[in-house]
Amino acid sequence: MYSLNDVVMMKKAHPCGENSWKIIRMGADIKIECQKCGHVVMLPRREFEKKMKKVIQSTQEN
């Protein structure tokens, strides 16, 4: 799964060309920030889970 401050890859790239995003807020909605240009987007959790491809960098240690 994913958690706060994880870097995730989305299925579609941002218009700036980057497709890695950092999760900066979690709740019913999830707020993500583009790692290249800093643009912030807020998505409903269900939509985020559909559009997320994989976790690139996890903050959780196993």
- 4-46 pLDDT, tens digit per residue, is 999 999 999 999 999 999 999 999 999 999 999 999 999 999 9
Cβ proximity of 32 and 23 under 8 Å? yes
- pTM as predicted: 0.89
- Sign, Cα dihedral of 19, 29, 51, 1: positive
44 pairs with which residues across the strands?
Answer: 29
Give which of 24, 23, 25 is closest to 7, Cα–Cα.
23
pLDDT band at 54; cut points 50, 70, 90 = very high
pLDDT score at 59: 83
Handedness of CA 58, 13, 39, 53 (dihedral sign): negative
Work out the number of other CB atoms within 10 angstroms of the CB of residue 47. 11
